[in-house]
Structure 1
Amino acid sequence: MQTGHMRVLSENIANANSTAKTPGGDPYGRKIAIFNPILPDSDENPVGRVARDTAEFRSVYDPSNAVADSKGIVKLPNIDMTVESSKLQEMIRSYELNLNASSSIDKVNQATLDLLR
């Protein structure tokens, strides 16, 4: 259920320090997973679509860089590694909690069956 969200976060982390392909061009833009509400037992992917973050790109002065503009400014992606990492950790913890809850439900169901025998 979280695979789409994990894919978006992984792409953002992988491209956090990438630059544009052409001088003065725009680098990779941060992606955001937009979730759709779904029913609990649905097979649908909750990530309805992926949107681009409209925040400003980071910029650094590096006139020696091949993709620097005429003023020596290089645009970097609008990705904050702290935010992306914390979202990934949050997603991992959520997954672990879901596994633990599922295991607990299985144990309760088994105990109920044992009592009924």
Structure 2
Amino acid sequence: MSFLDSFDISASGMSAQRIRLDIAAENIANVDTTRTENGGPYIRKDVVLASYGKKTTFANALRAARTGSSVISTGKRGVRVAGITDDTRETKRVYNPTHPDADVNGYVEMPNVDVTKETVDAMSATRSYEANVTALNAIKMMTQKAMDIGK
């Protein structure tokens, strides 16, 4: 694995975490949306992440490092957004007979969004993004130090 692969891995992680943060913000913004284009309450969205690139075991990586071969460094690696799915949990029913979307019994179907969970997801995405930035900066510093050695 070359040091440039490390840049790709960190960059893909930052991109994936940005999308996670965007989806958490969208979910929070729609916490009170009772009517969508599809005719029902907003349904919470979730991000599915997946790795991509050549997969290798630790034993193969160790063997490649010992022999000096570049078996591992073929193709880009990192993380990608495999999809954005709808949450399957039921929506909440709240009694509010004055609401324009209330049914004949006075209940309104509310989105299945939990603001606390979305806040935790947003914090997790932010911390993961920061970890990728830290790794990227460490790689950059190592590269600069290596170039200084060559002077």
Q: Which TM-score bucket, shorter chain as reference?
A: 0.7 to 0.9
Q: Judge conservation of contact 2:49–2:83 (CA < 8 Å) in 1.
A: yes
Q: 1:31-46 to 2 correspondence within 5 Å? A: 31-39=45-53, 41=76, 46=80
Please give the root-mean-square deviation of Cα atoms over the aligned residues, in Å: 2.1
TM-score scaled to structure 1, two decimals? 0.84
Q: 1:102-113 to 2 correspondence within 5 Å? A: 102-113=136-147
Segments of 5+ residues of structure 1 without an aligned counterpart are none
Of Structure 1 and Structure 2, the greater helix share is in 2
Aligned equivalent of 2:44:
30
Q: Judge conservation of contact 1:20–1:75 (CA < 8 Å) in 2.
A: no
The answer to whether structure 1 residue 59 and structure 2 residue 93 are counterparts is yes
Shift of 1:30: 0.6
Segments of 5+ residues of structure 2 without an aligned counterpart are 1-14, 54-74
TM-score scaled to structure 2, two decimals? 0.66
Question: What is the number of residues matched between the two proteins?
Answer: 113
Bigger relative contact order, structure 1 or 2, given CA contacts below 8 A and separation 6+? 2
Runs of 4+ residues over 3 Å off in structure 1: 40-43
Aligned equivalent of 1:9:
24
Shift of 1:66: 0.9
